[in-house]
């Protein structure tokens, strides 16, 4: 009985997500971007993690001229699905509307070389490959104990090494380097965690930076060109995970952008 109740609950939750997602898409396609934003943010707040939801939310924020929030959500979609061409194109389009056209900070060369497959596979695919390799490793070991065959040892070694590699890749995807986008027209970046500290440089809305430390409402950020300093958390939107709902999500639309982020709301999940 409890199992049936659990299944019914999960089915009900899935239907509620579908209804909210479809209603948000309808609101977006009708030009009611503020309502669409509210519903997409509601889905995310209920721990639904979907590239399509982040993509659509990015489009809605772009339409309301909030570049920082749009760019952060396109980054979220690509973090989950690196092959999401629509999100990649819309992200590039949104960056063109920023003041500085600042490039995204990239991983170190050694990291990209060591995990050359990591940045082109989705989280789901990476997890599936890691799990499959782990099962193959144990199957090969068990087979070797039961009936030693010529190649079982080699298969076990290769599968074990690859399982560790893809397992590390899966862990890295679950704990990505934190990226934040400036979420105000001008974000002052100081030498220290105090408003009275000297301003080292400024970020413009939509500029992205890596975050390597957070404390007392401040984040230490680094840009692609090597600038580094402390900015207030309230002036940033963090890509995540975790996916934090911004205060702006409760505000009404600031007005429709004249720029196009591409096609309408995606129906894919």
- Percent of the chain whose predicted confidence (pLDDT) is above 90: 48
Evaluate the CA torsion angle 243, 244, 250, 254 in order and state its sign. Answer: negative
pLDDT tens digits along 167-202:
767 766 666 678 999 999 999 999 999 999 999 999
User: Bigger pLDDT: 260 or 48?
Assistant: 48
User: Bigger pLDDT: 202 or 140?
Assistant: 202
- Domains of the chain listed by start with CATH number: 1-97 (1.25.40.10), 111-174 (no CATH), 177-242 (2.30.30.40)
Angle at 145 between CA 144 and CA 151, to 5 degrees: 10
Give yes or no for residue 119 having a pLDDT over 80.
no
pLDDT tens digits along 68-99:
999 999 999 999 898 899 999 999 999 999 99
Is-cis flag, bond preceding 242, omega within 30? yes
pLDDT tens digits along 33-76:
999 999 999 999 988 889 999 999 999 999 999 999 999 999 99
pLDDT tens digits along 45-54:
988 889 999 9
């Amino acid at each position: 009985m409890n199992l049936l109740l659990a299944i019914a609950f999960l089915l009900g939750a899935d239907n509620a997500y579908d209804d909210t997602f479809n209603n948000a898409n309808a609101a977006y396609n009708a030009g009611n971007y503020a309502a669409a934003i509210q519903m997409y943010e509601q889905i995310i707040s209920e721990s639904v993690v979907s590239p399509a939801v982040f993509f659509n939310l990015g489009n809605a924020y772009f339409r309301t001229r909030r570049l920082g929030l749009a760019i952060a959500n396109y980054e979220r979609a690509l973090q989950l699905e690196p092959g999401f061409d629509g999100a990649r194109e819309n992200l590039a389009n949104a960056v063109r509307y920023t003041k500085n056209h600042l490039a995204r900070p990239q991983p170190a060369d050694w990291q990209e070389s060591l995990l050359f497959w990591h940045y082109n596979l989705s989280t789901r695919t990476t997890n599936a490959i890691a799990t499959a390799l782990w099962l193959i490793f144990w199957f090969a070991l068990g087979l070797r104990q039961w009936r030693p065959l010529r190649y079982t040892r080699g298969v076990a070694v290769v599968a074990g090494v690859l399982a560790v590699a893809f397992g590390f890749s899966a862990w890295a995807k679950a704990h990505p380097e934190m990226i934040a986008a400036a979420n105000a027209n001008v974000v002052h970046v100081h030498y220290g965690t105090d408003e009275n500290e000297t301003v080292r440089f400024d970020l413009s809305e939509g500029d992205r930076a890596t975050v390597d430390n957070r404390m007392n409402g401040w984040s230490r950020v680094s840009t692609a060109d090597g600038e580094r300093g402390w900015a207030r958390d309230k002036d940033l939107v963090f890509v995540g995970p975790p996916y934090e709902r911004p205060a702006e999500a409760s505000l009404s639309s600031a007005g429709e952008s004249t720029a196009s982020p591409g096609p309408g709301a995606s129906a894919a999940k």
